[in-house]
Amino acid sequence: MSKSALLLGATGLVGGHLLSLLTLRYERIVVLTRRELNKQDAVYEEHLIAFDKLKEYESLFNVDDVYCCLGTTIKKAGSQAAFRKVDYDYPLEAALCAKQAGAKRFLVVTAMGADPKSSFFYSRVKGELEASLEELQLPELHILKPSLILGDRKEERTAEQFAQQLSPLFSWMLIGPLKRYRPIQAKHIAIAMIEAANQQEPGTHRYRSDQIEEWAAGYAD
Query: Would you please indicate which residues are annotated as catalytic (active-site) residues?
Result: 122, 126
Secondary structure (H, E, C), the chain: CCCEEEEECCCCHHHHHHHHHHHHHCCEEEEEECCCCCCCCCCCEEEECCHHHHHHHHHHHCCCEEEECCCCCHHHHCCHHHHHHHHHHHHHHHHHHHHHHCCCEEEEECCCCCCCCCCCHHHHHHHHHHHHHHHCCCCEEEEEECCCEECCCCCCCHHHHHHHHHHHHHHHHCCHHHHHHCCEEHHHHHHHHHHHHHHCCCEEEEEEHHHHHHHHHCCCC
The whole-angstrom separation of Cα 5 and Cα 18 is 11
Q: By C-alpha distance, which of 65, 36, 68, 67 is closest to 49?
A: 36
Q: Identify which of 141, 50, 143 has the alpha carbon closest to the alpha carbon of residue 98.
A: 141
